[in-house]
Amino acid sequence: MGTTINAQSNDKSDYVYSVKEMCRIVIGRSLSIPKSFDFLYQFTKDFYKQNKALKILHEYSRNVIEFRKKVLLGSSEQASSNTLLDLLLDSKETKVGISDSEIREEVDTFMFAGHDTVTSAISFILYCLAMHPQVQERVVKEMEAILWSHNLNVATYGRLQKLRYLEAVIKETLRLYPSVPIYCRRVVEDLHFGDQVIPANTTIVIFAYGVHRCPKTYPEPEKFDPNRFLTENQSAASTSSYIPFSAGYRSCIGKKFAMLEMKVVVSKILKHYRLLPTVPEHKLILKGETVLKSKNGVCIRLAKRFN
């Protein structure tokens, strides 16, 4: 977006707090029958906390947009520089038809949806690599051949695309620990399901975490096995049975970007450190939230990698 949130340097960030608060409120409301009714929900504390959090999130997005507008107007930088926000602003200026509110909604989507999901995924990827040293060693050898032997300071898009085994590791991690374990869809017309009919306008909850651990689709579903996602085996995971980014027309718009992010971060960490399990071994206690977390953290050890 051409700006920073400073989430790592400022743990008191209102934006970061509001994102976490919204995640808590959304999952809490989905599990409460009284809160599912709007006329009752408006009298709860969470309703007021939700409005406060949304005000902070929307205000931040508006400030980001206004700041970027001023930067572009006051410099020779072209609006077509490679940030998404610049492209959206350029679309508005060239009369494509995107309004300020639509730009703000797009910014909200990218910043909110991408804030915690990739963080969660990377944490679980590093944990899985620490717990499976043979897999980690194979990933490192792949990186040595494709990235490090070429003395690349920056991994190029083309090189990242060649990291097939790392991609399989990421996909297998997301199978076991999907960043968004539950999401919803609304039925737009009556849906016949066996002998039953699901009426139009019904909201369906899709449990991605459960779908990914179905033994009919994934033999030994609790086992961490990246080989499931190597090219010759990928037919086992069809679109409907592997949904860490959801599926269909409303699937995650940032899934390709997220995959690149994860490859870059993991490859950078593995270049400098070996990942080791804690002693005693840390067992994850998963917590059901909008974004999958571990209630007791994700703990590993790091050892300096000497080449």
The CATH number covering residue 282 comes to 1.10.630.10
Question: Does residue 296 register a pLDDT over 80?
Answer: yes
Question: Does residue 208 register a pLDDT over 70?
Answer: yes
Question: Does residue 93 register a pLDDT over 60?
Answer: no
The answer to whether 293 and 122 have CB atoms below 8 angstroms apart is: no
Average pLDDT, the chain: 85
Q: What's the mean pLDDT in 262-286?
A: 94
Domain that holds residue 154: 117-304
d(CA 271, CA 78): 35
Number of domains in the chain: 2
Ligand-binding site membership of 252 (annotated):
yes
Predicted confidence at residue 260, as pLDDT, reads 94
Predicted confidence at residue 80, as pLDDT, reads 47
Residues 80 and 148 in one domain: no
The answer to whether 262 and 118 have CB atoms below 8 angstroms apart is: yes
Residues 93 and 179 in one domain: no
Looking at the domain assignment, is residue 110 inside a domain?
no
Residues 85 and 229 in one domain: no
d(CA 146, CA 161): 10
User: Which two three-digit tokens encode residue 172?
Assistant: 């297998």
Predicted confidence at residue 101, as pLDDT, reads 78
Question: Does residue 98 register a pLDDT over 90?
Answer: no
The answer to whether 147 and 159 have CB atoms below 8 angstroms apart is: yes
Q: pTM, whole model, 2 decimals?
A: 0.83
User: What is each CA distance from 41 to 53, 146, 288, in whole angstroms?
Assistant: 16, 54, 21
Residues 84 and 131 in one domain: no
